[in-house]
Amino acid sequence: MSDGKFITLEGIEGAGKSSCMTVVEELLRNAGHQVLVTREPGGTPMGEDLRALLLGHKHAGMADDTELLLMFAARAEHLRNKIEPAIRGGQWVLCDRFTDATYAYQGGGRGLDMHRIKLLEDWVQRGVKPDLTLLLDLPVATGLERAGKRSAPDRIESEAAGFFQRVRDAYLVIAANEPERVKLIDASRSFTEVTEQLGEQLGALLNGLPGDAAHG
């Protein structure tokens, strides 16, 4: 049995990740793949407990270093007990956020040292990286307006607009530095257009082509 693939969706608040996760899952299943859908922080019983600590308002004054370490604690559990076994078993793993979010939110948003994040990434992930990351990008004001129409914001969603601009900027740097893995999706477009973009980039992975060759 061949190993599965690892696909992540990233983006700021209001980018439409939940809807896009459903689209990507359906495309993968229609292509005949077994799909494991998961999320970060979370994905395991321990990870979900840590998610509640990270996103709830009980610890509003949480230190930035604590936030970073809890993110990677949840990720270590997630990788060992869910993601890695699934990939070895031939499943395609579809994850709502992964380490790019840590670089964007804790690195860009909080201003933590990117080199320290890289040390934790190397230790915890042992070389595991997504095969494809779909980055849903849109202006911060648009994203926050969309997100404001949903449920009450969690601890991180309650940050000011400047925080999310730094997050977006950090995401765009990642995309510029790793264009083979990270594919930009214009999430400000209509849902139909976003779905078409997702299909193009996913088709490239399914067909074993470089992302931009899917429609070149």
- Torsion, Cα 24 29 35 39, to 10 degrees, reads 20
- Give the structural domain span for 99: 6-211
H/E element holding 6? strand 6-11
pLDDT digits (tens, 9 = 90+) for 47-106: 999 999 999 889 888 999 999 999 999 999 999 999 999 999 999 999 999 999 999 999
Q: Where are the alpha helices (DSSP H) in 44-190?
A: 45-55, 64-78, 84-88, 99-101, 114-125, 140-147, 161-177
| Beta partners for residue 132, in sequence order | 7
Residue 194 confidence (pLDDT) above 70: yes
Residue 1 pLDDT class (50, 70, 90 cuts)? low
**132-153 burial code (b ≥16 CB/10 A, e <16):** bbbbbbbebeebbebbeeeeee
Confirm whether 117 is domain-assigned.
Answer: yes
Tell me whether residue 58 is in a domain.
yes
The kind and range of the H/E element at 17 are helix 17-30
Residue 201 lies in a domain: yes
Judge whether residue 212 has pLDDT over 60.
no
Q: In what order do the strands lie in the sheet with 92-96?
A: 35-39, 92-96, 6-11, 132-137, 182-186
Domain assignment present for 143:
yes
Domain count, the chain: 1
pLDDT at 150 over 80: no
pLDDT of residue 206: 87
Mean of pLDDT values over 143-161: 81
**Does 186 map to a domain?**
yes
Q: Which residue has the tokens 């990939």?
A: 87
Amino acid at 180: E
Residue 208: pLDDT above 80? no
Whether 75 maps to a domain, the answer reads yes
Residue 33 has a CB neighbour count (10 Å cut-off) of 16
Q: What is the pLDDT of residue 213?
A: 39
Q: Is residue 1 part of a domain?
A: no
Give residue 216's pLDDT: 35
User: Which domain CATH number covers 129?
Assistant: 3.40.50.300
The verdict on pTM exceeding 0.95 is: no
* pLDDT at residue 192 is higher than 60: yes
Model pLDDT, residue 128: 97
Q: Is residue 216 part of a domain?
A: no
